[in-house]
Amino acid sequence: MTEALFVVSEEGYWAEECIEPLTTLEAEGVDVTVATPSGSPPVVDERSLDPEAAGGEERVAELREVDEEHPELNDPEPIATVDAADYDAVVFPGGHGTVWDVNQDRHARQLLLDAVAGDEGVALVVCHAVGILAFTREADGTPLVEGRAVTGFPNEWEADIVDENDVMPDGRKLPYWVEDEVVLAGADFDAELDADESVTVDGDLITARGPGSSAAAAATLLDEL
């Protein structure tokens, strides 16, 4: 059986970016495991369950049902206890919460490194989770993302969310912008802002721009698997 590991934020994951790939993979017979930094259930960003953001009340109800009732989402593993070698794919859903926990976690970064090493695994990294690429280093110190083509949450969109002091609507200070950090780490970053969707494949690394690219990202991951 094909198996996938989802590494999900406890500080706020974006519903569409996690649940669309998760349910798509499961519908194709992929066995899904969920892990979070501490092993506590991930927390959905309530902004992602706004009907305008999610695509209507019916879609919100579907997303909330999965968030509240999916057995793996509600009983995750601690990321320090899982091994990328046990999975065919490792998925990092986005959401602003990732900038405070998943992207900064050394065990999450090791899972990413292991997922794209060799010929067996593949990683899908979505939206704000793309920031993890800026902090993930090979054994010799080379940034994993150096020279790789990636997409992710663009500065142009971030500017519409935070205030002049980089403070989020919920009062939290955003410590960095994803595009800035991955570019500094040597990535070839293109969010394809003129396109409705943006999914980039570079070897065993798949990146996706944001919520609207979640379905395309899931389909691309299935193709790679």
Say how many C-beta atoms besides its own lie within 10 A of residue 110's C-beta.
Answer: 15
The structure tokens 């200070």 sit at 173
**pLDDT (0 to 100) of residue 36:** 98
The residues with which 124 forms a beta bridge, in sequence order, are: 91, 206
Q: Return all residues near 134 (Cβ < 8 A) that are at least 6 apart.
A: 103, 143, 145, 176, 178, 181, 182, 184, 185, 187
* pTM score: 0.97
| Residue 36 CA to its chain's centroid (Å) | 12
Positive or negative, the CA dihedral 5, 11, 17, 22 is: positive
86: nearest Cα among 27, 31, 12: 31
pLDDT (average), residues 199-213 = 97
pLDDT class of 209 with cuts at 50, 70, 90: very high
pLDDT of 82: 98
Residue 120: what pLDDT?
83
Contact 152/182 with Cβ under 8 angstroms?
Answer: yes
Kindly report the average pLDDT of the chain as a whole number: 96
